[in-house]
């Protein structure tokens, strides 16, 4: 049996293990119509914070500790889209997107007799970051009296992701990196779509 567990498999103690969660999310969508095309901007921001205590009841005379864990996330994303008017046999779309996100997980041990959170302790921190962007465009041509439609598009995407573990080696010292790694990923993706409109009630396409 684990240390401190009674005959019923329970771990008795009189300390709470509270969980605190707080998040804010914002979004903004703006479209401006011009005679030949429209411009649309979509932006979003998310901030998420969570912390919780995990009580560690080790047998006396060992010290009794709380493990303080937390998770923080920040994310911003923006997409800008230019789209031609629907009239006519030619249509086009141009756009781009950007995303920046950070996820942090921290953990520290504090004495139950001095429950002052992680301040002045030796916290461990794991941090993930991701920054990405993409640009894309496509052109559509309708022909054969509107019965067929051909679309060709291209998208370029790039993302830089990083991971690192940090720890403070003394009270009130800034965290130092123990391990870290970063990678950059990219892709160019073409797209071709042929659409057939045999009637007003039926559409068939191949992509």
Residue 66 scores a pLDDT above 90: no
pLDDT at 23: 92
Separation CA 116–CA 123 (nearest Å): 13
Residue 32 scores a pLDDT above 60: yes
Q: What is the pTM of this model?
A: 0.74
What is the residue-wise DSSP string for 20-76? EEEEEEEEEEEEEE-SSEEEEEEEEEEEEEEEEEEEE-PPTTSPPEEEEEEEEEEEE
Query: pLDDT-based confidence at 120, cuts 50/70/90?
Result: very low
pLDDT at 162: 94
The two tokens of residue 22 are 């707080």
Residue 4 scores a pLDDT above 80: no
Q: Looking at the chain, list the stretches that DSSP marks H as alpha helix, in order from N- to C-terminal side.
A: none
Task: Output 82 or 120, whichever has higher pLDDT.
Answer: 82
Sign for the CA dihedral angle at 143, 149, 150, 156 comes to: positive
Phi/psi for 191 (5° steps) reads: -150, 130
The two tokens of residue 86 are 């629907």
Q: Could you read off the pLDDT of 150-172 as tens digits, one per residue? A: 999 999 999 999 998 877 666 56
CA dihedral angle for residue 184, residue 28, residue 155, residue 191, rounded to 10 degrees = 140
pLDDT at 18: 77
Mean pLDDT of the chain: 84
Separation CA 57–CA 28 (nearest Å): 48
pLDDT at 127: 87
Q: Is the peptide bond before 61 cis (omega within 30 degrees of 0)?
A: yes
Please count the other Cβ atoms lying within 10 Å of the Cβ belonging to residue 118: 19
The two tokens of residue 129 are 């970051």
Residue 68 scores a pLDDT above 90: no
Separation CA 96–CA 144 (nearest Å): 32
Q: Could you read off the pLDDT of 177-199 as tens digits, one per residue? A: 677 899 999 999 999 999 999 99
Residue 1 scores a pLDDT above 50: no
119 SS3 class = coil
Planar angle of CA 13, 18, 21, nearest 5 degrees: 165
Task: Output 11 or 47, whichever has higher pLDDT.
Answer: 47
Span 86-103, average pLDDT? 93
């Amino acid at each position: 049996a684990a240390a401190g567990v009674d005959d019923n498999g329970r771990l008795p103690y009189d300390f709470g293990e509270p969980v605190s969660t707080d998040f804010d999310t914002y979004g903004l969508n703006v479209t401006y119509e011009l005679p030949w095309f429209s411009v649309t901007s979509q932006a979003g921001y998310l901030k998420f914070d969570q912390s919780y205590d995990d009580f560690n009841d080790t047998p006396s005379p060992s010290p009794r500790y709380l493990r303080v864990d937390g998770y923080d996330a920040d994310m911003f994303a923006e997409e800008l889209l230019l789209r031609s008017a629907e009239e006519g046999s030619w249509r086009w779309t141009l756009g781009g997107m950007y995303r920046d996100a950070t996820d942090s997980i921290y953990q520290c041990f504090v004495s139950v007799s001095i429950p002052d959170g992680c301040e002045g302790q030796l916290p461990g921190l794991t941090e993930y970051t991701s920054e990405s962007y993409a640009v894309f465009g496509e052109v559509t041509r309708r022909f054969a009296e509107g019965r067929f439609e051909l679309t060709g598009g291209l998208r370029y995407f790039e993302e830089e992701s990083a991971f690192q573990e940090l720890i403070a080696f003394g009270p009130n010292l800034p965290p130092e990196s123990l391990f870290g790694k970063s990678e950059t990923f990219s892709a160019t993706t073409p797209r071709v779509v042929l659409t057939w409109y045999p009637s007003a009630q039926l559409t068939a396409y191949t992509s």
